[in-house]
């Protein structure tokens, strides 16, 4: 995914939000391309390998706000963030916002023309401590709030979901999950490369340390992992609400069917991640237990459908056997009762004439 992110360096902050498009069916390529043409005069891009994806053109948002710091320092930043949207398989919608923080020049604010010439860059007006800002943005501490990239990503998602092309009737009730992340440029091997925190069902925090990966590649990694984390969370939630241990199998199957039809086939982890970032993806996979939990959830769903099929065949066999016994009883003792099961006539009794 190319974007006007400016030069690599400093610290990169971003947020990704993932949810289900509010529509009853998947969008086709042409429909999705029109839906994600969010910037006048620029067309969304489509790719079908390794899975169909439509990517919107990116927008710029001006920022002039405090920077988040774990130690509560008062540092102001001015510049722009880039944002956009991605529609996976015509069904799963992601929005994102990110910016690269760099030290400013002369410790003063410039005219907006200066910042617009450097899209996706925010300059700090005081000394920039990358670790402190990364911990304040994507760490667990409260620190000093600032630079709300989540609001930018949420606004992009809301603009897509508000389109008149959507019927507002998604097949599955699914929450939006947010991934807030920070990439710090660091010396190789100087610290743990990945630190993941699951705050709650809707929020993940991710700290990355690397000096060798391109920002666009890291962005692609996080979009891919956020997509699969959302798929897992949504499917597990549906399985939990379906109450698979209950005897009310019809209700459970009605709740599970949309998962089979609309979600399972989107699972293709790391399909859009480069070889150099695969170790990072695998580390995240281990931390979340992503693949193991997915395999277990899918197995439970398919086992429930197989069990329902076996029960259906058994019930049909039992019904057929009971009907055959009833007919045999009536034929052997024709004097008992005159009513035969619907569609069956007593041969030789006059009812066949």
pLDDT tens digits along 158-209 = 999 999 999 999 999 999 999 999 999 876 665 557 889 999 999 999 999 8
Give the pLDDT of residue 87. Answer: 97
Residue with more model confidence, 55 or 307: 55
Beta-ladder partners of 14:
98, 181
Eight-class DSSP state of 74:
-
d(CA 27, CA 19): 15
Where does the pLDDT of residue 8 fall: very low under 50, low under 70, confident under 90, or very high at 90 and above?
A: very low
* 218-251 b/e (C-beta count within 10 Å ≥ 16 → b): bbbbbbbbbbbbbbbbbbebbbeebebeeeebee
Give the pLDDT of residue 3. Answer: 39
In angstroms, the first-to-last Cα distance of the chain is 78
3-class DSSP assignment, residue 180: strand
Q: Is the pLDDT assigned to residue 328 strictly greater than 90? A: no
Range with the poorest average pLDDT among 58-62, 241-245, 336-340: 336-340
- Percent of the chain residues past pLDDT 90, beyond the cut: 57
3-class DSSP assignment, residue 316: helix
Give the pLDDT of residue 95. Answer: 98
Among positive and negative, which fits the CA dihedral 318, 324, 325, 327?
positive
Q: Is the pLDDT assigned to residue 54 strictly greater than 50? A: yes
Q: Is the pLDDT assigned to residue 1 strictly greater than 60? A: no
pLDDT tens digits along 150-160 = 999 999 999 99
d(CA 139, CA 131): 10
Q: Is the pLDDT assigned to residue 4 strictly greater than 80? A: no
Give yes or no for a contact between 61 and 97, defined as CB atoms under 8 angstroms apart. Answer: yes
d(CA 180, CA 201): 14
Indicate the length of the chain as a whole number: 353
**What's the whole-model pTM score?**
0.84
Residue partners of 321: CB distance under 8 A and separation at least 6:
none
What are the tokens at 109?
Answer: 């604010």
293: number of Cβ within 10 Å: 14
Residue with more model confidence, 132 or 94: 94
Residue with more model confidence, 163 or 246: 163
Give yes or no for a contact between 99 and 122, defined as CB atoms under 8 angstroms apart. Answer: yes
d(CA 28, CA 46): 11
Where does the pLDDT of residue 345 fall: very low under 50, low under 70, confident under 90, or very high at 90 and above?
A: low
3-class DSSP assignment, residue 16: strand
Give the pLDDT of residue 343. Answer: 59
Give yes or no for a contact between 84 and 57, defined as CB atoms under 8 angstroms apart. Answer: yes
Burial level of 331, CB count in 10 A (0-12/13-18/19+)?
middle
Give the pLDDT of residue 342. Answer: 61
d(CA 293, CA 305): 19
**Mean pLDDT score of the chain:** 86
The torsion angle over the Cα atoms of residues 59, 25, 238 and 294, rounded to 10 degrees, is: -70
Give the pLDDT of residue 247. Answer: 60
pLDDT tens digits along 309-318 = 887 787 888 8
């Amino acid at each position: 995914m190319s974007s006007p992110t400016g030069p690599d360096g400093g610290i990169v902050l971003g947020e990704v939000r993932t949810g289900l498009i509010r529509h009853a069916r998947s969008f086709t390529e042409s429909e999705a391309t029109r839906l994600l043409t969010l910037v006048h005069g620029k067309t969304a891009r489509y790719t079908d390998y390794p899975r169909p994806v439509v990517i919107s053109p990116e927008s710029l948002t001006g920022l002039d706000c405090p920077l988040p710091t774990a130690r509560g320092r008062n540092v102001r930043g001015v510049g722009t963030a880039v944002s956009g949207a991605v529609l996976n398989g015509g069904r799963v919608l992601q929005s994102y916002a990110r910016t690269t923080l760099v030290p400013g020049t002369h410790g003063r604010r410039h005219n907006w023309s200066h910042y617009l010439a450097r899209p996706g860059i925010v300059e700090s007006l005081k000394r920039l401590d990358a670790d402190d800002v990364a911990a304040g943005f994507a760490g667990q501490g409260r620190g000093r709030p600032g630079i709300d990239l989540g609001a930018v990503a949420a606004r992009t998602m809301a603009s897509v979901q508000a389109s008149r092309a959507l019927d507002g009737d998604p097949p599955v009730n699914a929450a939006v999950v947010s991934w807030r992340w920070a990439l710090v440029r660091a010396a190789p091997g100087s610290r743990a490369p990945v630190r993941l925190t699951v705050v709650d069902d809707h929020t993940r925090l991710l700290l990355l340390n690397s000096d060798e990966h391109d920002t666009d590649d890291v962005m692609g990694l996080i979009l891919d992992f956020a997509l699969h984390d959302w798929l897992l969370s949504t499917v597990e939630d549906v399985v939990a609400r379906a109450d698979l241990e209950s005897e009310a199998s019809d209700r459970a199957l009605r709740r599970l069917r949309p998962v089979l039809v609309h979600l399972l086939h989107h699972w293709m982890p790391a399909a859009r991640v480069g070889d150099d970032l695969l170790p990072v993806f695998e580390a995240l996979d281990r931390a979340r237990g992503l693949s193991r939990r997915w395999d277990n959830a899918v197995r439970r769903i398919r086992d429930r459908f197989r069990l329902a099929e076996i029960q259906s065949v058994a019930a049909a066999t039992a019904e057929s056997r009971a009907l055959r016994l009833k007919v045999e009883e009536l034929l052997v003792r024709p004097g008992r009762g005159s009513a035969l099961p619907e569609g069956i006539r007593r041969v030789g009794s006059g009812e066949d004439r």
